[in-house]
Amino acid sequence: MRLALLLVFMLSACSTTKPVVVFAPMLSSEPELSAEPEPELSAEPAPKPEPARQALPRVASPSTSTAVRAVGDETAAQVMTKIAGLCAEIGRKLSSVSAADCQRQALQHTAVSVLNRPIAYRDYAPAEPGNQQGRVLLIGGIHGDEFSSVSVVFKWMDLLSQQAPWPLLLRVVPLANPDGLLRTKSQRQNENGVDLNRNFPTTDWASHARDYWVETTSKNIRRYPGETSASEPETRWLVDQIREFAPNVIIALHAPHHLVDYDGPPSAPQQVGKLNLRQLGVYPGSLGNYAGQDLQIPVVTLELQSAGIMPADAEIRSMLKDLQQWLHVQLSQQAVNSGQPSAPNSATSR
């Protein structure tokens, strides 16, 4: 009798057991570039003081800091080999940009990073050089952990190759901080631990940069401005580009504040794609402070929504189209103010 009751109890228990259901995560429709954590979301947080065990960034002294090294004596084969090596590294790091995507951009370089990686760029010339509306410098990847700022620029380069030439000379730098991106664990700073966007030689750098780092950021190593202004080869190369290329407008991509920032003479774009204008102000050693305030060159900073997830393809196209339209108005106005004839708006998105 006891055995029969035991069997009934066991059968009853088995019949009420619920099956185990394993839920698969919902995949984003937009490709994920990396599992790297998003950078902090505030415009300029004041974090807690760094733990005592955390050493200061490793920075070379000005006398031994890596200089901007000329590469004009390299053969074409050597240049191609260096660019191919850079593209291979980028392809391994970013799921949205393959080595082939990078290689077909026909990049060139005139200087290298701390770790001797090319600081690569490409020029897009107008169809009629005599009908040039102006010069624009487009920069991605100043911060190495903002992956989307690099990937979007590469996507734009593909679109630019498919479009009718813009009536301006466009210099595109897809990755200004190659060492920061291409580390095993990417970081905001360059190889020397310096935040390039706090290292520009602004007029207030000597008087405010270090105090701001110490007092406002509590020595946050992600925002270390360096021992001296323009101490880093990547910064010095960008400063050289601003001086020698002489852009009428500078556009820089960052993430993840989801806005348009603007520094310099009016007027700012009110919207670029889904990004709306919200000016954040400038900081000692920032590009906006140096070029926008000190040199009075309009600087448009596009803060993408995510550092690790790409915008949709339609949004990437929309942002480029909006920038193109704003640039036509901005450069036409600059031409009027300088007494030069403006070029017709012949560039169209496809």
Reference 171, options 119, 231, 101; nearest CA is 119
Q: What CA–CA distance (Å, rounded) separates 53 from 72?
A: 43
Return the structure tokens found at 32: 């994920």
3-class state of residue 241 by DSSP: helix
Residue 339 has what pLDDT?
Answer: 67
- Spatial contact of 176 and 235, defined as CB atoms under 8 Å apart: no
pLDDT digits (tens, 9 = 90+) for 218-264: 999 999 999 999 999 999 999 999 999 999 999 999 999 999 999 99
Contact 302, 252 (CB under 8 A): yes
Domains annotated on the chain, with CATH: 62-338 (3.40.630.10)
Contact 157, 122 (CB under 8 A): yes
b/e code 165-191 from CB counts within 10 Å (16+ = b): ebbbbbbbbbbbbbbbbbbeebbbbbb
pLDDT at residue number 341: 53
pTM of the model: 0.79
Match 């007092």 to its residue by tokens: 215
Closest CA to 293 of 267, 264, 266, 268: 264
Q: What is the DSSP letter of 114?
A: T
Regions of the chain with pLDDT less than 70? 1-72, 339-350
State residue 71's pLDDT score: 63
